[in-house]
Amino acid sequence: MSFVTTPDGTRIFYKDWGAGRPVVLSHGWPLNSDSWEAQQLFLAQSGYRVIAHDRRGHGRSTQAWHGNEMNTYADDLAAVIDHLDLREVTLVGFSTGGGEVARYIGRHGTGRVAQLVLVSAVPPFMLRTEDNPDGVPVEVFDEIRAGSLADRSQQYHDLADGPFFGHNRPGANVSRGVREAFWRQGLQAGHRNAYESIAAFSATDFRPDLDAVDVPALVIHGDDDQVVPYAVGGQASAARIKDARLITYPGAPHGITDTHREQLGRDLLDFLKEYDA
């Protein structure tokens, strides 16, 4: 098993598959790098070196008491990239991981970055505030926090069986295995880590980070995302990032890394090849 140790002693687990120009995958809440396996395997088999890490407090990384916020998440990502001396990287962030890669650019720049991809991602800013009136009301996130404290195991079942994969929509057919994998990964995260990450993904303003993006950017989002609404997430990010391209998956839910795994893999590969052409 491969780890990077950060300055505060946190050990960050990562998978490093394949060879070629590097692609770094950042996962969503409350998951870990296993959630990227379909895309990681596909892209590694397609000629790329693909790295996916477990965020601090998630999966096999240290359940650190502190640092469960975006600045530290971004610095941990920088520790992985620097340790492996990765250059010309394509950063790909799903959901909370989209915030992580955006904040990485805001804090560390694009000196090592060739491309950015946001998938069902939380930027630019999820929370409804006076200057973000179209955001999601804080009561929604308070309910998630309350559910986490009351019975997070059941909460993860409810998310997987409902809005995360769109399994609550008529005609939905998301396998039991996919839904149970979400539950399993969620319970691998530390309780405090997963709880504090709710504030990290919901209340962090990524607008300045997106303004700092000066590399080609692709935004992919389902227009039936019940977790990060399309207008709040993908549509708003694509409008904010200079020259970003938006790919909309009609009728798709939040968890497109599983529900649309083949389509997502193809779209990522096409974008990677544009840089390599």
Question: What pLDDT was estimated at residue 1?
Answer: 79
- 65-92 exposure pattern, b = at least 16 Cβ within 10 A, e = fewer: eebbbbebbbbbbbbbbeebebeebbbb
pLDDT band at 265 (very low <50, low <70, confident <90, very high): very high
Give the closest residue to 232 by CA, choosing from 262, 201, 261, 211.
201
CA 55 to CA 151: how far, in whole Å?
A: 22
**For 36-77, what is each residue's pLDDT tens digit?**
999 999 999 999 999 999 999 999 999 999 999 999 999 999
Q: Which residues pair with 51 in a beta bridge?
A: 16, 24
**3-state SS string over 60-94?**
CCCCCCCCCCHHHHHHHHHHHHHHCCCCCEEEEEE
Q: Which residues are catalytic?
A: 95, 225, 254
Residue 16 token pair: 């490093």
Rounded distance, CA 30 to CA 63, Å?
Answer: 13
Q: What is the pLDDT of residue 16?
A: 98
Domain of residue 120 covers 2-276
Q: What is the pLDDT of residue 7?
A: 95
Which two three-digit tokens encode residue 91? 């950063």
**Number of folded domains in the chain?**
1
Residues 85-103, mean pLDDT to the nearest whole number = 98
Query: Which DSSP letter does residue 129 get?
Result: B
Structure letter (DSSP) for residue 54: P
Mean pLDDT in residue range 144-161:
98
Name the 3-class secondary structure at 87. Answer: coil
What percentage of the chain exceeds 70 in pLDDT? 100
DSSP code string of 194-255:
HHHHHHHHHH---HHHHHT--S-EEEEEETT-SSS-TTTTHHHHHHHSTT-EEEEETT--S-
For 97, phi then psi, to 5°, come to -60, -25
Closest CA to 260 of 68, 42, 73: 42
For residue 42, give the 3-state DSSP assignment: helix
Using omega within 30 degrees of 0 as the cis cutoff, is the peptide bond preceding 124 cis? yes
Over the Cα atoms of the chain, what is R_g? 17
Quote the percentage of the chain above a pLDDT of 90: 100
Backbone angles phi, psi at 118, to 5 degrees: -110, 125
Please answer whether residues 14 and 51 qualify as being in contact, where contact means their C-beta atoms are separated by less than 8 angstroms: yes
Token output for 220:
């992919």
Rounded average pLDDT over 127-155: 98
Q: Which residues pair with 119 in a beta bridge?
A: 94, 220
Q: Which domain CATH number covers 79?
A: 3.40.50.1820
